Structure 1
């Protein structure tokens, strides 16, 4: 067996291992932000949900780097349900430690933060759901929001089974 074939087989086996270890995942998608997240830019995720009995945990995932200038992050998250009802939440997350170092997972200057959105939640109706995420960061003492939020490279949305 050639070296290239062994490498391909190893890579495939590794990919299968990672996918099979994530049995709780129902939905997991990311959208790229072009280095600066404008306050009017909404990141949108759409998914079909059939199960109205099982409880789920939902997360907003943020990938950011050392250019992220704040200790916290404010988000407006909206969920449009199949019956036309929209639920809106304004959420705050801690993004940096007291010493200023970024929180989150990762070995490089890019950190990934898995931020709680809903815990043990049930979907009230079967059908298509649309989730939008918008940054709402404000500087201390200022009313207008930060026009361009630096340091965010990707925004994701994840749904997991609770058991």
Structure 2
């Protein structure tokens, strides 16, 4: 048990360091943890972020952390983005592969039995104006309680010109 906690702690430190270093294009990134590693179908995660430059193209990515005993090969999520008036500017159903379809080997980066995935949701998104935006993320699997998902998050970054 202590070894698993130590591995999770080291993985978390490594991820934080990698996210902080050399990431000047990142506008926003936050991950929300799930209590007891369960993502309930009615549990929508809300992420508020600010766009200061409406003339730039952005890339929005989904972050997912899961354990090796997650029971499926993939994860379906619904992601929508609204401006401060509640107008939806983007919406999609995202299929993220967490394990190789043929071999069952985990994808993403990991340590021990925990793996992190970052997958692009939309690339080249131009926000219509500066201001506050809200991203909503819900799981869209066929289970009310999705086990062994540890966290979900959103990353918004300026695209290189």
The two structures share one fold, judged by TM-score above 0.5: yes
Structure-1 residue corresponding to 2:99: 96
Is 1:80–1:131's contact at 8 Å kept on the other side of the alignment? yes
* CA distance in structure 2 between the aligned counterparts of 1:136 and 1:23, rounded to whole angstroms: 32
* CA distance in structure 1 between the aligned counterparts of 2:34 and 2:139, rounded to whole angstroms: 12
* CA distance in structure 1 between the aligned counterparts of 2:17 and 2:107, rounded to whole angstroms: 29
Change in 2 beyond 3 A, CA 1:100/1:122: same
Is 1:46–1:131's contact at 8 Å kept on the other side of the alignment? yes
1:158 is paired with a residue whose SS is strand
Q: What count of residue pairs does the alignment treat as equivalent?
A: 142
Query: Unpaired segments of 5 or more residues in structure 1?
Result: 1-14, 138-144
Structure-1 residue corresponding to 2:84: 82
Tell me the TM-score normalised to structure 1 length.
0.80
Is 1:83–1:125's contact at 8 Å kept on the other side of the alignment? no
- Is 1:115 aligned with 2:119? yes
Bigger Rg over Cα? 1
1:119 is paired with a residue whose SS is strand
Per-residue deviation, residues 118-145 of structure 1 (Å, max 9, x unmatched): 10111112111111100011xxxxxxx2
* CA distance in structure 1 between the aligned counterparts of 2:45 and 2:20, rounded to whole angstroms: 25
Tell me the TM-score normalised to structure 2 length.
0.81
Q: CA deviation at 1:82?
A: 2.4
Q: CA deviation at 1:16?
A: 8.3
Query: Unpaired segments of 5 or more residues in structure 2?
Result: 1-15
